[in-house]
Amino acid sequence: MTDVITAEFVDLTLDAGDRQAAARSLAQRLVGAQRVTDLDGFLADIATRESQMPTGIEGGIGIPHCRSTHVTEPSLAFGRSAAGIDFGAPDGPADLIFLIAAPEGGDASHMKILASLARKLVRQDFKDTLRSIGDPGEAATFIQKEVAPS
C-alpha cells in the first residue's frame, strides 16, 4: 500500500472560508494525485456525511470523511487554517483539518485511520507538533508515522 498521506496532500496555509471550501481545497490535492476521480461527486459524498453529523471535535479539529466510489485508495489530506473553520465543534472553529477519503466497498482502512487519528488527537503534544511544523513533507511524514494503519 502506498502512503496514506504525502507532502502534496498537506496545506499548511489553508485559506478557506467554510467547511465546504476547506474540503474542496484539500480534495483537489487528492484529485491531482489521482486518488479521487471525480471532485464534485466526492464532495457530494462528503456533504452527505457532514449532514448526518458535524465532523468537528473539541480542540480545534475538523475531520471531514466518507467512503466514496470516487476514491481509488485510502488517503488523508491535512490542512492548517490560521483563521479557523467551523466544522460544528462545540468549542468553536477548527485550525487542524484532516480530510479522510476511503473507497466505497473497500476494507475498513478509513475507520482504522479515523480511530488512530482520534487517539492521537487527545494528545496535546501531537496537536502542538501539527500546529508548529513548518514543512509539508515533515508534516506528512509525522502524520504517516503516527496514524497510518500498519
DSSP per-residue letters across 95-135: EEEEEEEEETT--SHHHHHHHHHHHHHT-HHHHHHHHH---
Distance from C-alpha of 10 to C-alpha of 119, rounded to nearest angstrom: 20
3-state class of 62 per DSSP? strand
Distance from C-alpha of 85 to C-alpha of 97, rounded to nearest angstrom: 9
Distance from C-alpha of 16 to C-alpha of 25, rounded to nearest angstrom: 8
Beta bridge partners of 80: 96
**Residue 103, C-alpha cell as written in the block:** 473507497
Alpha carbon separation from 114 to 14, 65, 73 (Å, rounded): 21, 9, 15
65 is catalytic: yes
The active-site residue, picked from 29, 65, 70, 110, is: 65
The residues assigned a catalytic role are: 65
